[in-house]
Amino acid sequence: MAFSAFATGTAREQVPRRKSRVALLLLLPGILYLVLFFLVPLVSLVITSLQAPSAFGDVGSYQTAFNWNNYVVSITQYGDQIVRSFFYAVLATVFALLFSYPLAYFIGVTARPWPLLQNLMLVLVIAPFFISFLLRTLAWKSLLSDESGFVTGLKALSLLAPDAHITGTPVAVVFGLTYNFIPFMTLPLYAALERLDTQYLEAGSDLYARPSTVFRKVTIPLSMPGIVSGVLLTFIPAAGDYVNASREFLGGTGTAMMGNVIESNFLILLNYPAAASLSIILMVVILAIVTAYVRRSGTEDLL
Amino acid sequence: MARPIPTDPMIQRLIQNARAAQFSRRSVLQGVGIGAAALTLAACSPGGPAGKPTAAPDKSATDKTLRWDNWAAYLDEDDSGKRHPTLDAFQKQTGITVKYDVAVDDNNTYYGKVKDQLALGQDIGADVVCLTDWMVSRMINLGYVQQFDLSKIPNAKNLTPDLKNVDFDPGRKKSLPWQGGFAGICWNKEKVPGGLKSVNDLWDKSLKGRVGVLSEMRDTIGLIMLQQGVDISTKWGDSQFNAAIDEFKKQVNDGQIRNIKGNAYLEDLKSEDTLAAICWSGDITVINAEAGDKWEFAIPTAGGTLWNDNFLIPIGSQKKSAAEELINYYYQPEVAAEVAAWVNYITPVVGAKEAMQNIDPALAENQLIFPNEETLSKARVFRTLSSAEESKYNAAFQAVLLGS
């Protein structure tokens, strides 16, 4: 599975073969925690996803069954939303990377001579965390609403058609996702770039590489661990996000992502098998994408 | 559709064995985990149809607190918007501390959050809740509601005779109406000076992308069905419902309808993302008072829907008699009039109209609070749905909301 991608296949370290009771005892809390809060819910989710409507027919009552068909129904019925979720998540990740890289580079490399500026900018990146994620998204909803200065301004400049709007469109949702996950991209990038040894860059230009080549051949490979963890930290939650795309926040009827479909099935339709099967599909697809990504980016030993 | 599992006991056992074998093959689950996991699962997985839950013991005598979950803009507020004068008076009078919580945004989502506790007869964090007729009907059927001791609610005699014997609760033993209201159309008077008359006016091209509708299926689809000439209170079938869903879907896909929300639709009206909406009668008076006199409400020419929200005491509440005291208090005509003067919904309390004369004579003539026969004749109650219909129609409605 994906986890094997993180492990080094070669040169396995010598593990002491002696069985230690102490080690086992120390591991116990962790194992118990994983069993209780990961394994049990996961198995319960799988069982729920296979349930069939109960014969008594009350809304929201189901009985244990082996109803694989739930998955087929979920995929055919919500194929659009599944594809859309990953499309939005990829867009948000790419935008967040494009925005965060120069920012992290500036904080981590350019601003090195001025530690005060470095710290100030880091605080600015982290500061939004002091306010609830929901509140910030609601604030954007009102900032982007039809009669807001921003939208009327765009219309006055003819950058936006007179009857166009922003909230409730894919643009608003991708914007919201990008905005909300930027700190998750910036911080790992900063951590990687902050350690960047500028002597390598000098060596690169001494060897007649153009700045763009130095960036491509030296800076990027050296910051790869930051890029990989930033991408993972952004992509995984963005794909499952249900706040930004929700109709109560920045989304509309045409922007529902998987999280919204699961929410609707779980809370409104009380169709727990559908909600559970969709959750598992989401998990499996993310796992597959992440495994492929980590393998391809060739950073197994950097992580 | 779901493929039914074979009923033959031998095959069922085979399936069980096959499943057990599958799990044991998974090396991940080897070791400590599996035993604990299986045990815990056996404990939490829902078994067969359990019996109806039993009511929790009443501790009102010793613990003078009460928790009340209700919808937004549904109880009188003072000018600061922080205190509820009638509720303050009740607390002073009885010594009961009431925690009033605007926790209901949508019947379905509220029910989805509390149904598992209800099924087990546990506390849901509220001792009295106001929910809509059809949801109350479902909860009474499932045994999730405590029966009133009507001798402790003497003022229940003030209930308007029309609402005394509803099909889901004859004699009103488990629910009593809180407020009723109409779903109709409203519009921003500044941006839509011509006003609107019917649901079809919402589909006018000039309002493209600026129309909001309610996520309450019975109101939104009900109004569209009425516009299509269906009497929603009588027996209609799939074809009528589907015709309304098709119209609704078309307006959503064309971008005519901007958004579909619960109570949060008021935010869109205020931010002017929406200029016209399908909405609830009393809300418009409240936002007019809050955000400038900008909106107007009307029952569409083809008719509006009429609904009631009802007090009920959840099965797990330990404050039954305190809750009854609260309900009794709000069934006094003077108190009901004071609430109605602020929320502007139809009060079910007889005598409130007379009491209103002392507060504001103009409001006593307000058709949205004290509707006369003529107004009531324009409104219809959405008929009761069977649980199969409920699932089917809700799924169709939600599919449109999710854009699929």
Across the interface, which of B40, B112, B401 has its CB nearest the CB of A253?
B401
Q: In the predicted model, what is the mean pLDDT of chain A?
A: 88
Q: Do A69 and B273 touch (CB under 8 A)?
A: no
What pLDDT score does A56 carry? 67
Q: Which of A36, A40, A85, A258 to mutate to test the interface with B (most CBs of B within 10 A)?
A: A40
In chain B, what residues touch A265 (CB-CB under 8 Å)?
398
What pLDDT score does A59 carry? 73
Q: Do B400 and A268 touch (CB under 8 A)?
A: no
Across the interface, which of B5, B260, B398 has its CB nearest the CB of A65?
B5
Whole-angstrom Cα distance, residue A243 to residue A256? 10
Q: Do B387 and A70 touch (CB under 8 A)?
A: no
Residue where the block lists tokens 């003077």: B334
Which range has the worst mean pLDDT, A224-228, B15-19, B35-39, B219-223?
A: B35-39
In chain B, what residues touch A69 (CB-CB under 8 Å)?
1-3
In sequence order, what DSSP letters do the residues of chain A get, joined into one string? -HHHHHS--SS------S--HHHHHHHHHHHHHHIIIIIHHHHHHHHHHT-EE-TT--TT-EE----THHHHHHHHHHHHHHHHHHHHHHHHHHHHHHHHHHHHHIIIIITTT-HHHHHHHHHHHHGGGGS-HHHHHHHHHHHTSTTSHHHHHHHHTTSS-TT--STTSHHHHHHHHHHHHHHHHHHHHHHHHHT--HHHHHHHHHTT--HHHHIIIIIHHHHHHHHHHHHHHHHHHHHH--STTSTTTT--TT---HHHHHHIIIIIS--HHHHHHHHHHHHHHHHHHHHHHHHHHT-TTT-
| A20-49 mean pLDDT | 92
Whole-angstrom Cα distance, residue A247 to residue A260? 9
Q: Which of B110, B402, B404 to mutate to test the interface with A (most CBs of A within 10 A)?
A: B402
Q: In the predicted model, what is the mean pLDDT of chain B?
A: 86
In sequence order, what DSSP letters do the residues of A142-206 get, joined into one string? HHTSTTSHHHHHHHHTTSS-TT--STTSHHHHHHHHHHHHHHHHHHHHHHHHHT--HHHHHHHHH
Q: Do A65 and B48 touch (CB under 8 A)?
A: no
| A104-132 mean pLDDT | 93
What pLDDT score does B218 carry? 93
CB B179 within 8 A of CB B348: yes
| Banded model confidence at residue B14, pLDDT cuts 50, 70, 90 | low
Task: Quick: pLDDT tens for A149-171.
Answer: 898 899 889 888 887 888 889 99
Across the interface, which of A65, A66, A248 has its CB nearest the CB of B264?
A248
Q: Is residue B294 over pLDDT 50?
A: yes
Q: ipTM, 2 decimals?
A: 0.78
| Inter-chain CB pairs, A–B, below 8 Å | 144
| Annotation: CATH topology of A78-297 | MetI-like fold (1.10.3720)
What pLDDT score does A43 carry? 95
What pLDDT score does A267 carry? 86
| Banded model confidence at residue B19, pLDDT cuts 50, 70, 90 | low
* Residue spans per domain, chain A: 78-297
In sequence order, what DSSP letters do the residues of B107-168 get, joined into one string? HHHHHHHHHHHHHTT---S-SEEEEEHHHHHHHHHTT-BPPP-GGG-GGGGGB-GGGSEETT
In chain A, what residues touch B399 (CB-CB under 8 Å)?
77
Choose from A106-115, B105-114, B260-269 the range with maximum mean pLDDT.
Answer: A106-115
Q: Do B41 and A58 touch (CB under 8 A)?
A: no
Q: How many residues does chain A have?
A: 303
Would the pTM count as exceeding 0.90? no
Across the interface, which of B15, B49, B258 has its CB nearest the CB of A252?
B258
Work out the angle at residue B370's Cα, subtended by the Cα atoms of residues B365 and B371, and round it to the nearest 5 degrees: 100
Domains of chain B, start order? 65-180+307-369 (3.40.190.10), 181-306+383-401 (3.40.190.10)
Across the interface, which of A47, A59, A265 has its CB nearest the CB of B138?
A59
Find all residues with CB under 8 Å of B369, minimum gap 6, and list them. Answer: B340, B341, B344, B345, B346, B347, B356, B363
| B74-97 mean pLDDT | 92
Instruction: Give the nearest chain B residue to A252 (CA atoms).
Output: B259
What pLDDT score does A146 carry? 85
Looking at residue B27, the DSSP 8-state letter turns out to be: G
What pLDDT score does A300 carry? 57
Q: Do A142 and B387 touch (CB under 8 A)?
A: no
Q: Is B337 helix (H, G, I), strand (E, B) or coil?
A: helix
Q: Is residue A13 over pLDDT 70?
A: no
Beta strands at B276-280 and B295-298: parallel, antiparallel or unpaired: unpaired
Find all residues with CB under 8 Å of A249, minimum gap 6, and list them. Answer: A134, A137, A138, A141, A176, A243
| B268-274 mean pLDDT | 89
| Banded model confidence at residue B75, pLDDT cuts 50, 70, 90 | very high
| Banded model confidence at residue A19, pLDDT cuts 50, 70, 90 | low
